Amino acid sequence: MLERGPYRPWDAQLESNENSVVPSNSTFRSIGKDKPWNFTIGYGGGTNCWYGTTPRLHPSDFRLKSLYGRGRDWPVSYEEMEPYYMAAEEIMDISGPEDIRIISPRSRPYPQPPHKFSAADRLMKKAQPDRHFVMPTARARVANAQRPQCCATFRCNLCPVHAKFTALNGFRHITENPNVRILTEAEVIEVERSGASSVSTVRFRHASGEQRVGCDLCVLGANAIHSPAILLRSGIGHPLLGRGLNEQLGYAVEVLLDGLDNLDGSTITTGANYSLYDGAFRSEHGGAFLVFDNRFPYGVRTEIGRWRQTLAMNVTVEDELRNENRVSVDSSGNVAVHFQGHSAYAARGAERSLGLLPEVLAPLPVEKIVFKGYRPSESHLQGTLRMGRNRADSVVDRSQVHHGIRNLIVVGTSVLPTCPPVAPSLTAAALSLRAADIAAGKAPSW
C-alpha cells in the first residue's frame, strides 16, 4: 500500500493538535469559490479526523431517478448493500438503535448498544417515534478490546481517549500482517498503462526519489480530489472524470429551549431526525437530515439557572452533482479544484427545511430558533469518479472497476453517483467491502 502522508500515532496527533502535518487545502489550488475541502493526508486518512457519524443511506437514496426523477439511480440497491453495511458496522463496532430499521432495514442488531439520548431527543422520540432515532456512531458506547467508552469530550477529530474507530486502533491486525507492506510518504504520481484496458505499474514520489511498483490489480483510494487527479495525470480520460465534486449543503441553528434542561446525552451527537429526509418533495428540492447535537458550541446560556436550555442542530441537505464543479491538473501535474457553488436544488432544500423547522420541533418547548449560518464544509468530498451501469454516464462500473481499465478498482466516496443528505463514510466502507468481494469472486459483478 502506498500512502501519501506519514504514519502518525494518535499521541503525536494529540500533542501537535492536528491530524496531519500536511494541511488538506495546501494540496490543491482553488479556482472559483474558495471553499474548504477537509481531509487527512496520512495513514488512515479520514478515519483520523472524522467524527464517527455512521447512518446508512435511506433505501430511496439508491433510486432517486426512478422515484423522483432527479439525479440518477445507483447501480446497486439497498438490499444488495445491506450485508455489506452490516459487515462494515461489525468491523467498526458501530453503536446504534434497533428501531432505526424502520428507516433503513437491517438483518442484525448493531454490534454496540445505542448512545443515550438527550432530554430534547427524548421529547422528540416520544412525539415522532418513527422519525427520531439515536444517531448511529463509531464512537464507542461501551469499551471494547481496542477502545474505551466515549465520554463526551466533543473534540472528536482529536479524541483524547481514542474512543472512536480509526485505522490506527481498528486495523492493527492488518498493519501487523507480514503479507502487508505499507510505504508511507509515497505520493502516487500516476498509474501506467500496459495496454488499452489495463495498468501494470504505479509511479510514485518518495524520499529516495521517483520509483515504480508493479500491480496486477490496482486499487485507487485517495479521495474525491486526488483520486481523479491521479487518473488525469495518467491520461486515463473520460468526459466525467473529475467532474461532479460535491458535498451536502449544511447549516447550523441553535434552538433556545424554554424550561427544558438539555445536554444530558452520552456523546457529541445524539439524535438523527428523518422528518424532512424523504418524500415526493425530492422531485423539487433536496432532502434534509436533522442532526441533534448534545454539545454547546455557542456556549452555555447566560441566564441564571438556564445554562442547559439550549439545543445545537446541524442540518445537511442533499445536493445535485454539477459538472462544472470539478478537479483538474495542469501540465506540471498540480491539482486545482473548480467550485462554482451548490445547486439550486440544494439551496431550495435548505430554505424549505429551515422554514419547516418550527413545525418539526413542535414537541419541544421552543423559545426561539436562531439561524447560525451555512457551514463552510461538511468534510464529505465525493462524486468525481461516479459509478454507474453505462460507460456514457459513469467512470466506474457497478463493481467499482474502471469502465476502460479493467484491473483498476476505485474505492472511497469519489464513486458516489448522487449526494444523499447523510454522511457517506459508512456507505463508502460498505461499498469497498462489496468491491473486494466481487474482485475475489465471492459476489456477482452483474
Partner 1 sequence: MVSRRKFMFMGAVAGAAVIAGGAAFAITDQYHGWIHAILKHWLPGYRFDPEGLALFIRDYNKKQGHALKLRTFAAVEGVVDVKVLLPDELRRQVEEEERRVFSAFLVGSDFFDNYSNGPKTITYRGTPQACGSPFATF
Helix (H) or strand (E) holding 438, with range, is helix 425-439
Q: 54 or 266: whose CB is closer to partner 1?
A: 266
End-to-end CA distance of the chain: 28
Contact set with partner 1 (CB under 8 A): 116, 149, 151-154, 160-161, 262-267, 294-296, 298-300, 302-304, 307-308
Q: What are phi and psi of 289, to 5 degrees?
A: -105, 125
Which is nearest to 68 in space by CA: 287, 241, 240, 218?
287
Q: Give dist(CA 95, CA 113) in Å, integer.
A: 5
Kindly tell me which of 266 and 394 has the beta carbon lying closer to partner 1.
266
The alpha carbon torsion through 391, 393, 398, 399 (nearest 10 deg) reads 50
Comparison of 295 and 380: residue with beta carbon closer to partner 1: 295
Residue type, 275: S
**Least separation in angstroms between CB 119 and partner 1:** 10
Taking the least distance from each CB to partner 1, the nearer of 49 and 346 is 49
Task: Evaluate whether 19 touches 40 at the Cβ level (below 8 Å).
Answer: yes
How many CA atoms, within 13 angstroms, populate the side-chain half-sphere of residue 328? Answer: 14
Nearer to partner 1, 300 or 344 (CB): 300
CB of 370 to partner 1, least distance (A): 10
Residue 270: HSE in the Cβ half-sphere, 13 Å Cα cutoff: 27
CB of 266 to partner 1, least distance (A): 5
Q: In angstroms, give the least distance from the CB of 152 to partner 1.
A: 4
248: left (phi over 0), alpha (psi -120 to 50) or beta: beta
Closest CB 221 distance from partner 1, rounded Å: 32
* Residue 267 Cβ vs partner 1, minimum distance, rounded to whole Å: 8
Q: Which is nearer to partner 1, 256 or 347 (CB)?
A: 256
